[in-house]
Amino acid sequence: MKRHLVALFLIVLCPAVSGAAQDGALKKLGFMVQEGSMEAPGFTTEDAAGNRVDSASFRGRLVVLNFWATWCPPCRLEMPAMERLYQEFRGKGLEVVAVNFMESPELVRAFAEEQELTYPMLLDSRAEIAERYGVMRLPETVLIGRKGEVIAKTIGYKDWYKDDMRGLVAALLEDEGAAPAAALAGSPAETPPRSGYGSAVGLGAVGLVLAGWIAFRIRRGRARGPAG
């Protein structure tokens, strides 16, 4: 009887211990852990090749959802490491998804070809996806679990292929391996923005990112000097 009680205690305790350890590992690597349960906002858009993509197509996978732009130096710097991570873990349940901020498909395709990036390149021409996710600056990356829940997010450059990051991804994949597959989210109409991703916050955040892009363009124009 005692053995059965101990076994039952361990079954109940282990998920809580595992979750605490996971949160600790995420925070150690600079992630902001999502408090409470939150479903990832859904979306539909096109990829750089013009194909229609629904976020539900990533169901049942651990998703690294990265917001970026070609004019963003730290974005450019971290993406080759993301590619290496993707190649190592794509067969084990990882999906890396890059959401480009308000640039042309031609520019995104050229950049992906130049950098030899093979993971999905999606377009956010009107910043609607960035608004839904409350993007504050670029790069910003959201981790989404197999059941479509937001796990954590991080702002700024990350070395996505260093040993502790690879270990974290491997642990997340193993921890969620037995979880039932579920949609990342439904269509935008079915999945309205939740707390933390409200429209007012999203619009203000997108404004900050856009202001940074404008400043970048102005500085580049000054550096080039007057034409002729």
Domains and CATH numbers, the chain: 28-224 (3.40.30.10)
pLDDT band at 21 (very low <50, low <70, confident <90, very high): confident
pLDDT of residue 211: 54
Gyration radius of the chain over CA positions: 19
> Please, what is the end-to-end C-alpha distance for the chain in angstroms?
89
Q: What is the number of residues in the chain? A: 228
pLDDT at 174 over 80: yes
pLDDT at 210 over 50: yes
pTM above the 0.85 mark?
Answer: no
Secondary structure E strands in 4-163: 32-33, 44-46, 52-54, 62-68, 94-101, 121-124, 140-144, 150-155
Q: What is the pLDDT of residues 68-119, one digit of tens each?
A: 999 999 999 999 999 999 999 999 999 999 999 999 999 999 999 999 999 9
Contact (CB, 8 A) for 94 and 169: yes
- The rounded mean pLDDT for the chain is 80
Query: Is beta strand 94-101 parallel, antiparallel or unpaired with respect to 44-46?
Result: unpaired
pLDDT at 225 over 50: yes
- Choose the catalytic residue: 26, 75, 127, 138: 75
Q: Is 75 noted as a catalytic residue in this protein?
A: yes
